[in-house]
Amino acid sequence: MPPATKLRIRVDQKKCQGHNRCHQIAPSLFELDEFGNAHEIGDGRVPAAMEEKAWLAKANCPELAVDVIED
C-alpha cells in the first residue's frame, strides 16, 4: 500500500444527491450505495498519489457534499 497522508475525505450524506461525479473522478476513494449516493471508502484516508483527485472531486460536487479534511 502507498503511504497514507494527512488528507481525508468525507461525504455529507445530508447533501449528497448521487450525481456520481466524485466516483467517476476517483473510484478508489468513493463507493456508491444502492441509492447511488457516495461514501468515502474505508476511513477516507487519501493516498499521496490521489490528493489531486480528492480536491478535484470536492470541486466537482454540485452539492458541496465532499469535504477534504487536513488532519
Binding region for ligand SF4 (CB under 6 A): 11, 16-22, 37-38, 61, 63, 65-66
Which of residues 48 and 59 has its CB atom nearest to ligand SF4 in the complex? 59
Alpha helices in the chain (DSSP H): 21-25, 51-60
Q: Report the Cα 53 to chain-centroid distance in Å.
A: 9
Number of neighbouring beta carbons within 10 Å of residue 67: 16
Which of residues 3 and 62 has its CB atom nearest to ligand SF4 in the complex? 62
At its nearest, how many Å lie between ligand SF4 and the CB of residue 6? 21
Q: Rounded to an integer, what distance in angstroms lies between the CA atom of residue 16 and that of residue 32?
A: 11
At its nearest, how many Å lie between ligand SF4 and the CB of residue 64? 8
